[in-house]
Amino acid sequence: MEVSDVRDPSPTPDEPTGPYRWRWLILTVMIVAEIMDLLDASIVNVAGPDLEKSLGAGSVGLQWVIGGYALTLGAGLVLGGRLGDRYGRRRMFLIGLAAFTVTSLLCAAAPDIESLITFRLLQGTAGAMLLPQGLGLLRENFSGPELTRVFAIFGPVLGLGGIVGPVLGGFLIQGDFFGLGWRSVFLVNVPIGIAALIVAARFVPRKAGDRTVRVDTAGAALIVASCALLVLPLNQGQESGRPLWTWLSMAASAIGFALFALQQRRTAAAGREPLVTPGLLRKPAFTVGLGGIALFFGGLIGTQLVLTLFLQIGRHFTAGDAGLGNLPLAVGTAIGGAVSGAFLADRIGRKVLQIGPLVQLAGAAVLWFELDGLDAASFSIWDVVPGTTVAGVGAGMVIAALFGFILAAVDDDEIGSASGVLSAVQAIGGSLGVATFGSVFFAEAGNGDFTGGFHRALIVQGCLLAAFLAITFLLPRKGRPEEEQHGIATEPATGSDTHQHLAV
């Protein structure tokens, strides 16, 4: 009998003795929680005019409402992953989910812009505790071919969360349900969060953390400060024209990251527990994959922002219509993810990571020519649907495979550290994309040439996709063999081996 077939006669949520019977319900809860987190990174993008009217928020205040969340999220993700190692991923997941739900309610009830900014900073901190645990919990409860299928589902969700944000935000603001206006974009998280919390508390299996793991407080302070010094000028500097302090801040961030790497090596050499497991940085699939994550999500999130800006500012779409303009991209991403996960990732390995960006480039080329032939007077979203849909298919193909490919190389004792680093790189890559693409677009849009701004953004995306395609050749041809993942035996299990289960 193989390990995957072993069942305890009376499994319980607390002590699973075989492949956990409720593991697919765990995936559902993880997806719901991750969507809540990722939606809030982009859902406010279409709320600017409504916030300005309701709270009298100026441009700086709006920038902080949008960027403050990314600031604390990106700064705390690596620490959040390590806390999961020490105190248990289930415990930290429940704490993060509860805190995220509460801060969403506080954001919805904010009486002024200063309070909203404060609550958004706290919401990002809660997200940093929540987000790294989801990937780790999935690795604890799935293995082998099932793990591949899980990431075929989970990967596109991570991409779609950011893309669907403006769609949902535009719908809620345009609908103005119960007269809530912008408050509904935060309030919608509350019932969803409560339901997910109840299900997670009942069905996510208990597994004690490793109290021998010491949280590297010096490393945590360095990484938090370095991330803050990077994300702060990216979000604030664009509004103020990139003054000198923004460049000094980013330079200080680079120095901080270098000091962090040095401090981590010294901590490990001294026999103490570093914040980032040293073995991770010796794995090409992980280190090269992180670069791919930053390039890919920088281009994806940046292009999605430019599409929203083009529709709202350049073509005077309402918040609801601009949100719906992202729907073809979301649908294409879902299709690409399904094709990649179901048919391609297992069969052709890293080649799917090379086909995906080529499909995206084809979509960008189609979109370029669609924009060239636009008639501003008769423009509708259908004019750009073919290009955005094709680009979405390519994006979905990459997302579905990339997360699974990277995490297949991660050992069980590295899950928390790897999840935190991966999530942080994704968040910071998205922030870089927003800042870069926003600057490129507004450089032309400021002169009234919105189509030219979109064209320049597509050129930047093409460069990022070309760089992503190039580094995929540095990845191993396949992820780690299934029998090496998550302690799966290569021979049938017998005797006492039948008590081996996925949550150990």
Written as six digits, the tokens of 417 are 């550290």
Say if residues 133 and 88 touch (Cβ distance below 8 Å): no
CA atoms of 482 and 474, how far apart (whole Å) = 21
Written as six digits, the tokens of 483 are 């029998």
Cα–Cα–Cα angle for 220, 221, 222, rounded to 5 degrees? 90
CA atoms of 49 and 317, how far apart (whole Å) = 12
pLDDT at 313: 78
3-state SS class at 372: helix
Residue 268: burial class (beta carbons within 10 Å; 0-12, 13-18, 19+): middle
Cα–Cα–Cα angle for 406, 168, 230, rounded to 5 degrees? 50
Low-confidence residues of the chain: pLDDT under 50: 1-16, 481-504
* Residue whose token pair is 């809620």: 172
Say if residues 29 and 204 touch (Cβ distance below 8 Å): yes
With CA atoms as reference, report the closest residue to 184 among 321, 37, 50, 31.
Answer: 50
Kindly give the residue spans of alpha helices, DSSP state H, lying in 144-216: 144-175, 184-187, 189-203
3-state secondary structure 114-149: HHHHHHHHHHHHHHHHHHHHHHHHHHHHCCHHHHHH
Residue 271: burial class (beta carbons within 10 Å; 0-12, 13-18, 19+): exposed
pLDDT at 308: 79
Q: Which residues lie below 8 Å from residue 271, measured CB to CB, with a gap of 6+? A: none
Q: Which residues lie below 8 Å from residue 179, measured CB to CB, with a gap of 6+? A: none
Q: b or e along 132-142 (b: 16 or more beta carbons within 10 Å of the residue's beta carbon)?
A: bbbbbbbbbbb
Say if residues 403 and 155 touch (Cβ distance below 8 Å): yes
Say if residues 431 and 74 touch (Cβ distance below 8 Å): yes
CA atoms of 427 and 424, how far apart (whole Å) = 5
Written as six digits, the tokens of 20 are 């956990």
Cα–Cα–Cα angle for 194, 196, 202, rounded to 5 degrees? 105
